Structure 1
Amino acid sequence: MSLRLSTVILPVDRWQECGRAKWQRAEELGFHAAYTYDHLSWRVPFRDGPWFGAVPTLTAAATATERLRLGTLVTSPNFRHPVTLAKELMSLDDVSGGRITLGIGAGGTGFDATALARSDQEPWTPRERADRFGEFVMLLDRLLTEDGKDGVSYDGTFYSAGGASAGGAQNIPGCVQRPRLPFAVAATGPRGLKLAARYGQAWVTTGDPKLYENGTPQESVQALRGQIEKLGKACADAGRDVAELDKVLLTGFTPDRARPLESVDAFVDFAGRHRDLGFTEIVIHWPIPDSGFAADQDVFEKIAAEALTQLN
């Protein structure tokens, strides 16, 4: 099974200083894709430092590169609305010449999860997050697929589109990629996996968060095997072949999170074990000093240049 290697470039650098150079270097190194997080801010040590918007960053990256796929890992309903997001994504797909993948997930608590809430408003419960996510993905799929002049009209529990006088929310001329740009759905629970099976062109996981602190690499592999099995069942229930979906592992959150970037051999060992589980794409973070994503830049680039020749 062929394996692709991609990277995540966090939006922490001013574009004119070194932001542009990182995305261009990612293309030079031959990465399949370069993604960025879609947050308003993120956890320590990034919480009180520079953090730029995902869509403008990806738009700039699209004009600075030619072949590299680009996308979010991941966008969530925390501060996004399907109608405005669909318009931005359609435009971004156009600027990039059809190189955009939307990584999308239910979102979590903390950081920017309550940025748009009133001071007396309680955070969404896990059930409400799942409910919102389901409606969010369904409506976004319609908005990006039904791009004719009639537009999309919808009145849901959490979202609406195309009010009585608007005549439908329009996204003309639609995405360059047809019938729309691909969704990479991040999910581990049953409801999220159903959404991946129904709407996804790819599925994303970071592993089992319960194993992050005290788990072992072996336990992590077993947990990921179980997630892929559950994805297969969700696809079977949806009448779909699980082989149609790419399986994407966003690294940095498994028990052995630091080891894969210690050397080319360490990465090949890590990636080979996960390829054998069925993963088709491994995503590694661009090194950031003094953070949980610190790594030797030379080793990182050597992995990008050499690792796949040993794996494929």
Structure 2
Amino acid sequence: MRLSTVILPVNRWSEGGRAQWVRAEELGFHAAYTYDHLSWRTFRDGPWFGALPTLTAAATATTRLRLGTLVTSPNFRHPVTLAKELISLDDVSGGRVTLGVGAGGDGFDATALGQEKWTPRERADRLAEFVPLLDRLLTEDAVTQEGTFYSAVEARNIPGCVQRPRLPFAVAATGPRGLRLAARYGQAWVTTGDPKLYETGTPADSDAALRGQVAKLGTACEAIGRDVAELDKILLTAFTPDRSTMLASLDAFVDFAGRQREAGFTELVLHWPIANSDFAADQSVFERIATEGLAQLG
């Protein structure tokens, strides 16, 4: 199992932003991700910086840490322009980028460009076209494709990614269509758990739901003849019923991580603490978890 972090882009680079990414590498995290939103939830009226410029800056400030989005969505992205930016970021980082990609939600991003909110089915329809086109754009020198939602006309992406055949996709999904995309195009799969359990579920309920999601991913892989073991299974934490206790102590984290390892997860992602927010946590405990937590699993 690997341990990673997600750093929300709420600090100016010169006022603590850079220091967080450097510290994440010093602490030995496998990867540091950021959210790819225009604004998000309770942070809407405060600072919020762009994901890809932030990751580019992080790439120049670090040397080993993997970098990525959790997650990018079609809400305000187009595959043609996104592919060009990802190839550039992969180059700057020396091949350390993972693209987290999902259908998105109905938050602030959903209407920022003036469109009406898409229904869940409409978001799934777009993702089903977005991911295969992005796959082509990142692996072929020139792409022409006419789609229902996204098209490319002689879109050129030379020299392509540093990582071959392209940078890895971590597909966020819980429904059958998304899981099929993860099985076909993903090098990893991402979940936050079952949102229906966020407020009233128990840790046991959540653990059972997560095991069920892993099993469904296995079914999706089996349907296309792929070994589910080929995919990393990433849990973005802080959205399960035990979110308030899992970072309270090293022992609490070890208990949580052990249960998720048994469920089949290969990577846990912890939010970098942000004071006075849903992600508030003791920084010293967080750093002890980063450096000692996985070793305690045995």
Is the shorter-chain TM-score for this pair beyond 0.5, marking a shared fold? yes
Q: Does 1:115 align with 2:120?
A: no
Equivalent position of 1:146 in the other structure: 140
Equivalent position of 2:189 in the other structure: 203
Equivalent position of 1:183 in the other structure: 169
Equivalent position of 2:86 in the other structure: 89
The C-alpha deviation readout for 1:1-27, integer Å capped at 9, x for no partner, is xx1000000000000110000000000
State the shift of 1:156 in Å. 0.3
Equivalent position of 2:120 in the other structure: 126
Q: Which amino acid aligns with 2:197?
A: L
Equivalent position of 2:25 in the other structure: 27
CA RMSD of aligned residues (A): 0.6
Q: Does 1:212 align with 2:204?
A: no
Aligned counterparts, 1:38-57, within 5 A: 38-44=36-42, 46-57=43-54
Equivalent position of 2:285 in the other structure: 299
State the shift of 1:32 in Å. 0.2
TM-score of the aligned structures, taking structure 2 as reference length: 0.99
Q: Does 1:156 align with 2:147?
A: yes
Task: Please give the alpha-carbon distance, in whole angstroms, between the structure 2 residues aligned to 1:239 and 1:200.
Answer: 14
Secondary structure of the residue aligned to 2:16 is helix
Q: How many residues end up aligned between the 2 structures?
A: 298
The C-alpha deviation readout for 1:15-65, integer Å capped at 9, x for no partner, is 011000000000000000000000000001x01000000000000000000
Secondary structure of the residue aligned to 2:104 is coil
Where does the alignment leave 5 or more consecutive residues of structure 1 unmatched? 163-167
Q: Among 226, 248, 273, which residue is 1:240 paired with?
A: 226
Task: Please give the alpha-carbon distance, in whole angstroms, between the structure 2 residues aligned to 1:97 and 1:208.
Answer: 35
State the shift of 1:260 in Å. 1.1
Q: Which amino acid aligns with 2:188?
A: A
State the shift of 1:117 in Å. 2.1
Secondary structure of the residue aligned to 1:70 is strand
Task: Please give the alpha-carbon distance, in whole angstroms, between the structure 2 residues aligned to 1:290 and 1:301.
Answer: 18
State the shift of 1:111 in Å. 1.4
Equivalent position of 1:263 in the other structure: 249
The C-alpha deviation readout for 1:218-275, integer Å capped at 9, x for no partner, is 0000000110110000000011000000000000000011211001110000000000
Q: Among 61, 76, 89, which residue is 2:73 paired with?
A: 76
Equivalent position of 1:165 in the other structure: none
Task: Please give the alpha-carbon distance, in whole angstroms, between the structure 2 residues aligned to 1:239 and 1:128.
Answer: 28
Secondary structure of the residue aligned to 2:285 is helix
Secondary structure of the residue aligned to 1:175 is coil
Where does the alignment leave 5 or more consecutive residues of structure 2 unmatched? none
Percentage identity across paired residues of the two chains: 80
Q: Which amino acid aligns with 2:13?
A: W
Q: Which amino acid aligns with 2:67?
A: L
Range 61-70 or range 124-133, more displaced: 124-133
Q: Which amino acid aligns with 2:148?
A: T
Equivalent position of 1:63 in the other structure: 60
Secondary structure of the residue aligned to 1:259 is coil
Task: Please give the alpha-carbon distance, in whole angstroms, between the structure 2 residues aligned to 1:213 and 1:130.
Answer: 25
Task: Please give the alpha-carbon distance, in whole angstroms, between the structure 2 residues aligned to 1:40 and 1:123.
Answer: 15
Task: Please give the alpha-carbon distance, in whole angstroms, between the structure 1 residues aligned to 2:40 and 2:225.
Answer: 38
Q: Which amino acid aligns with 1:135?
A: E
